[in-house]
Structure 1
Amino acid sequence: MPQPQQLAKAEFVELIGGSNGQPASEGKTVPVQFNPQSLKLNFSNQWSGGDQPQGSSPQFVGTSTTKLSMELWFDVTLPIPDAMPDPGGDVRRMTQQVAYFMTVQNPNDPNQQARVPPKVRFRWGSFVFNGTMESMDETVELFSNDGVPLRASVSVNLSKHDLAFEFNQQQRGGSTPGIAGTTPLSLAKAGDSLQQMAARAGISNWQGVARANGITNPRQLQPGALINLSVSVSS
């Protein structure tokens, strides 16, 4: 008799490091209690000019941000997944786990650039979004007779620079690979060269990236071109 298929659970994963073309490693993982009903993605571009009558056409400047928003529910009166810590009857102990990604984890680090909230990956099946948690709004919906919060809704907004689509490839049997299954595509801005884009991503082998993407003129990229910076072909 076939086994029932297990429901994929959404989760937030801390991203640690990742530079010089190397993928980030995964740290703290925070699963959700209930999967979101929907995910909202917002892509925005920057344009200049073109706002005057009979003026020049708008010029593409570059991307600003890609944003992901969702609403999550947490309720201690309902079954708690085994992967989640025991909230002890207070829903705030569950939402506090999500707030981890809003909190500076190294406030006393002498390096000012290290005193920032952690990068985060939202992963749900084949859907992957890597960025930072921009905002988190929590609304307590239900209290016990003693005034203990029991249920809360949490609105989360994640953002990242550049337009990038990432896919977590599902393997047979429902297992999910880690970072190696992620395919990021970066958007070329006006005036960008491939060498500049690779440098921003911490990649030195821009020639190999050009060969892998079939780019014949890496000095003059077409604005808006989607480029996979995670692949390269050696000479």
Structure 2
Amino acid sequence: MASSKLSKAVLIPLDAQNQDAPEDSWITVQFNPASLKVTLSNTLKDSNSGSGQSKAAQFVDKSESTLAIELVFDTSVLDGENLTQTDGTQTLLHEDVRKQTQRIATEFMKPQDAESNQPKAPKRCRFQWGSFSFIGMLSSYNETLDFFSPEGVPLRATLALSFKQDSYQFDIIDLKDALRQQGRLAVDGEGVSAADANLAANRDPKQWRDTALYNGMENPRFSDNQGVVMPPSGANSGSGSGGGYRYGQSDTLGTQIPGAF
């Protein structure tokens, strides 16, 4: 059986019109969350004006949607850097995990124009993972550091995040329709080779290996019934020059586009 593609969850900054910011500002999670907790609540208000009626009509005064997630970031799984000491010995240094988590705090928790007399609210965020999408403002940020290097550098962090939106929302994204609109779904159906899929998407058929790996095709000559999805432009599997995506727990695979598989 062919292995499946691994879609990574993304945190996408939104502008005042709720439009996505450019892709280079999106934050891709290192590990997908184990679960998502969505809470929908209504505050009811009745029309009883004190007349003593026992069955007053009720109306929704306010609706609220909340998303709670936990994200784990761990730089101990990444390659460290060798630092040569004055005595000629080398020490393996790891990156401070807060360099990764700081992006989330700065982008979605820190007020805009924080130094002014009237700081603006932080940017709103769209959390997306496959067909799941939630728009809200980051209302709480709790970071737990629980693994340190011998030098005292924090290497693992768990973020407990809560997003709120003052309205009802329950969005389900049609993945294939979104990919078609973006020109990423090259072939919808089975029995097509990775090379032919590249031709259908106006890409170099010689790059069939990257397409096959991205789609988890056991046999690059035959796609499964889900069709063939093109890798992000400019990405490659790492088999050539320049690195790219790879499979594994700490991989960086993820289309980073709305509606990604």
Q: So what's the TM-score if we normalise by structure 1?
A: 0.61
Identity %: 35
Cα distance in 1, alignment partners of residues 5 and 125 from structure 2: 25
Which residue of structure 2 aligns with residue 147 of structure 1?
152
Structure 1 CA distance, aligned partners of 2:147 and 2:256?
A: 38
Alignment of 1:209-224 (within 5 A): none
Deviations 1:179-220 (A, max 9, x none): 6x7xxxxxxxxxxxxxxxxxxxxxxxxxxxxxxxxxxxxxxx
Partner amino acid, structure 2, of 1:102:
M
- In structure 2, the CA distance between the partners of 1:152 and 1:178, relative to structure 1 (3 Å rule), is closer
Aligned length in residues = 167
Does the alignment pair 1:119 with 2:127? no
> Of the candidates 98, 101, 105, which is equivalent to residue 95 of structure 1?
101
Within the alignment, does 1:32 sit opposite 2:29 as a pair? yes
Higher relative contact order (CA 8 A, sep 6+): 2
Q: Which residue of 2 aligns with 1:170?
A: 175
In 2: Cα distance, 1:24 partner to 1:75 partner: 30
In structure 1, stretches of 5+ residues that fail to align are 81-86, 182-235
Map 1:1-235 → 2, pairs under 5 A: 4-18=3-17, 24-27=19-22, 28-49=25-46, 55-57=54-56, 59-79=58-78, 89-99=95-105, 100-107=107-114, 115-171=120-176, 172=185, 173-174=228-229
Shift of residue 177 of structure 1? 9.6
Cα gap change, 1:118 to 1:158, in 2 (>3 Å): same
Q: Distance in 2 between matches of 1:177 and 1:96?
A: 20
Structure 1 segments (4+ residues) deviating >4 Å: 174-179
Asked if the contact 1:128–1:168 (Cα under 8 Å) also holds between the matched residues in 2, the reply is yes
* Stretch of structure 1 that moved more, 41-50 or 135-144: 41-50
SS of equivalent to 1:98: helix
In structure 1, C-alpha distance between the alignment counterparts of 2:71 and 2:16, rounded to whole Å: 28
Query: Cα 1:146–1:5, aligned 2, differ >3 Å: closer, same or farther?
Result: same
Partners of 2:57 and 2:148 lie apart in 1 by 53
Name the SS for the 1:25 alignment partner.
coil
Q: Quote the offset at 1:168 in angstroms.
A: 2.5
CA–CA distance in 2 between the matches of 1:138 and 1:57? 46
- Structure 2: segments with no counterpart, 5+ residues: 80-92, 177-184, 186-227, 231-254
Bigger Rg over Cα = 2
Q: Structure 1 residues 118 and 89 mapped into 2: Cα distance closer, same or farther (>3 Å)?
A: same
Matched with 2:218 is none
Residue identity in the other structure for 2:73: F
2:14 aligned partner, one-letter code: L
Contact 1:12–1:29 (CA under 8 A) maintained in structure 2:
yes
3-state secondary structure, aligned to 2:175: coil
User: Residue 147 of structure 2 aligns to which amino acid in structure 1?
Assistant: L
